[in-house]
């Protein structure tokens, strides 16, 4: 296995994720569908002649009816001048104003697109325009969105991809797995019908992964992938910074909330709870190591994890309520947990003092388990108890 592919690809015929190559008889379909190609550009002047030349060939050799929208963020590198003199009326450079960014540029381009099929791709020739007809044919074959994909059989990336870039891409792709079954959901090369955009409440222009945003927000489940070879850029430099990669995590969180609603709050609440267990144990051991009495140390662990759980739940699990008073929220949270905390403390102390040989960590976990069960039971039978005429489950 090379470092370039995420897995040993199965042979092209047997990879169910890969969309079939178009039958020759269907080739005319591409020529019947007018396409708007949307390309975000920032300082890509050197790449424009190659990009426009290859799309022009597509237009003439494959008979595609298309417009090219270059969504430029005031590059000031001669891009505008080059387009003005290139002599193609189907190429339009739109100089954007307002906040610069790949996703907002693509979203503006999608709104301006005149044609029913939209293809989004990069300007740096990483994405081969020659694959556009196959992608459009796959749309006609019934897919809702088609990705030019590195990770289906027949797809590949250039040799220059080092281990860390591969690992980075691997982890980022795995994190998106609950959101879509696509193998290359991070791709900036994809085709879909403009009308699908009406299915999204709102498209958020953060981050680099506008394809993933469209898939999740428009609830597209029938996503096909056409294999491509992803070439490293020949000119200019990548604009993908570490900051953009951190923004991706933020983007993922929002997409999880959009797709899974309450379940994503519960999942975050449980992850915060798990982090609280770690905090609790660390504080407990630190206090004991400093010579603090064990009973006080159990209480210290509980108190510090209460605060860390509160802050993390406020920041993540229930971030929608961050506008409200932090003091009131803390009193409510501590009140809701208070009796459970006393149970937790008492069980920890009992286990430790009266069951000889119980290590601190086991006594602490026993207390956490008892407190959790107690919280569940009081919530189930006191806070959320059945009304007088119970609803049958
Ligand atoms: N208008 C505008 N404004 N365009 C931008 C901006 C911006 O702020 N930042 C980047 N672009 C354009 C670039 O000019 C290029 O055409 C395209 O967006 C992609 O930018 P690159 O800098 O080449 O990104 P990359 O190669 O690291 O990332 C690409 O590959 C990733 C997969 O490896 C993108 O396609 C990503 O979407 C994709 O996930
Ligand atoms: Mn690139």
Q: Are 192 and 144 in contact (CB under 8 A)?
A: yes
The residue from 218, 241, 260 where one domain ends is 260
At residue 381, does pLDDT exceed 60?
A: yes
Query: In this structure, are 175 and 299 located in the same domain?
Result: no
In a domain, 193, yes or no: yes
The residue from 193, 228, 260 where one domain ends is 260
In angstroms, what is the span from residue 188 Cα to ligand 2's centroid? 9
In angstroms, what is the span from residue 208 Cα to ligand 1's centroid? 7
pLDDT average, residue stretch 8-20 = 56
Q: Which pLDDT value is given to residue 25?
A: 45
Distance CA 239, CA 126 (A): 14
CA 79 → CA 24, 58, 105, 244, distances in Å?
A: 37, 22, 16, 24
Report the candidate in 202, 194, 214, 146 with the shortest Cα–Cα distance to residue 36.
194
| Domain count within the chain | 2
* Ligand nearest to C-alpha 165: 1
Using pLDDT thresholds of 50, 70 and 90, give the confidence band for residue 24: low
Q: What is the CATH number of the domain that holds 27?
A: 3.90.550.10
> Is beta strand 190-193 parallel, antiparallel or unpaired with respect to 223-227?
unpaired
Expressed as residue numbers, the domain containing 118 is 5-260
What is the number of H-type helices and E-type strands within the chain?
A: 12, 9
The residue from 207, 231, 260 where one domain ends is 260
From the centroid of its chain, how far is CA 19?
23
Distance CA 90, CA 65 (A): 9
Q: Which pLDDT value is given to residue 393?
A: 41
Nearest CA to ligand 1 atom 36: 188
H-state helical runs in 64-209: 79-85, 102-112, 132-140, 163-175
Q: Which pLDDT value is given to residue 1?
A: 31
Query: In this structure, are 139 and 284 located in the same domain?
Result: no
Query: In this structure, are 27 and 122 located in the same domain?
Result: yes
Query: In this structure, are 207 and 317 located in the same domain?
Result: no
Interval 290-326: pLDDT, tens: 999 999 999 999 999 999 999 998 888 888 888 888 8
Interval 316-374: pLDDT, tens: 888 888 888 889 888 888 888 888 899 999 999 999 999 988 999 999 999 999 988 88
For a mutational test of ligand 1's pocket, the pick from 157, 208, 228, i.e. the residue with the most ligand atoms closer than 8 A to its C-beta, is: 208
Residue 102 beta carbon below 6 angstroms from any ligand 1 atom = yes
At residue 266, does pLDDT exceed 60?
A: yes
Query: In this structure, are 150 and 243 located in the same domain?
Result: yes
Q: Which atom of ligand 1 is nearest to the CA of 43?
A: 14
Given the structure tokens 């190559």, which residue do they identify?
Answer: 21
For a mutational test of ligand 1's pocket, the pick from 42, 94, 190, 233, i.e. the residue with the most ligand atoms closer than 8 A to its C-beta, is: 42
Query: In this structure, are 310 and 247 located in the same domain?
Result: no
At residue 6, does pLDDT exceed 60?
A: no
Distance CA 233, CA 158 (A): 10
Residue 42 beta carbon below 6 angstroms from any ligand 1 atom = yes
Range of weakest confidence among 18-27, 92-101, 247-256: 18-27
At residue 187, does pLDDT exceed 50?
A: yes
Q: Which pLDDT value is given to residue 20?
A: 59
At residue 8, does pLDDT exceed 70?
A: no
User: Which residues are registered as beta bridge partners of 69?
Assistant: 38, 92
Using pLDDT thresholds of 50, 70 and 90, give the confidence band for residue 4: very low
* Ligand nearest to C-alpha 233: 2
Query: In this structure, are 75 and 41 located in the same domain?
Result: yes
CA 346 → CA 23, 281, 301, 352, 368, distances in Å?
A: 72, 16, 13, 10, 10
């Amino acid at each position: 296995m090379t470092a370039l592919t995420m897995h040993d690809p199965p042979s092209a015929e047997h990879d169910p994720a890969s969309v079939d190559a178009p039958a020759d008889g269907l080739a005319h379909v591409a020529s019947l569908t007018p396409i708007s190609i949307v390309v975000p550009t920032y300082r890509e002047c050197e790449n424009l002649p190659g990009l426009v030349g290859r799309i022009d060939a597509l237009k003439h050799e494959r008979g595609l009816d298309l417009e090219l929208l270059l969504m430029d963020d005031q590059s000031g590198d001669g891009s505008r001048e080059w387009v003005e003199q290139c002599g193609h009326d189907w190429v339009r450079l739109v100089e954007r104003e307002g906040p610069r960014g790949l996703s907002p540029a693509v979203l503006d381009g999608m709104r301006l697109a005149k044609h029913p099929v939209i293809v989004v791709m990069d300007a740096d020739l990483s994405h081969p325009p020659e694959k556009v007809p196959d992608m459009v044919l796959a749309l006609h074959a019934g897919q809702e969105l088609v990705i030019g994909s590195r990770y289906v059989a027949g797809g590949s990336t250039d040799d220059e991809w080092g281990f860390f870039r591969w690992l980075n891409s691997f982890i980022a792709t795995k994190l998106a797995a609950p959101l879509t079954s696509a193998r290359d959901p991070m791709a900036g090369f994809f085709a879909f019908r403009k009308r699908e955009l009406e299915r999204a409440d709102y498209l958020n222009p953060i981050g680099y992964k506008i394809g993933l945003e469209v898939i999740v927000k428009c609830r597209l489940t029938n996503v096909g992938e056409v294999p491509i070879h992803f070439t490293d850029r020949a000119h200019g430099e990548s604009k993908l910074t570490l900051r953009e990669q951190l923004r991706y995590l933020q983007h993922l969180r929002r997409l999880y909330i959009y797709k899974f609603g309450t379940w994503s709050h519960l999942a975050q609440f449980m992850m915060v709870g798990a982090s609280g267990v770690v905090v609790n144990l660390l504080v407990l051991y630190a206090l004991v190591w400093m010579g603090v009495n064990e009973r006080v140390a159990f209480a210290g662990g509980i108190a510090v994890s209460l605060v860390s759980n509160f802050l993390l739940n406020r920041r993540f699990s229930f971030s929608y309520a961050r506008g409200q008073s932090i003091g009131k929220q803390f009193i409510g949270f501590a009140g809701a947990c208070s009796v459970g905390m006393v149970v937790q403390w008492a069980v920890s102390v009992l286990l430790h003092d009266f069951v000889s040989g119980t290590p601190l960590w086991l006594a602490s976990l026993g207390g956490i388990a008892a407190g959790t069960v107690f919280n569940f039971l009081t919530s189930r039978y006191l806070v959320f108890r059945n009304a007088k005429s119970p609803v049958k489950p």
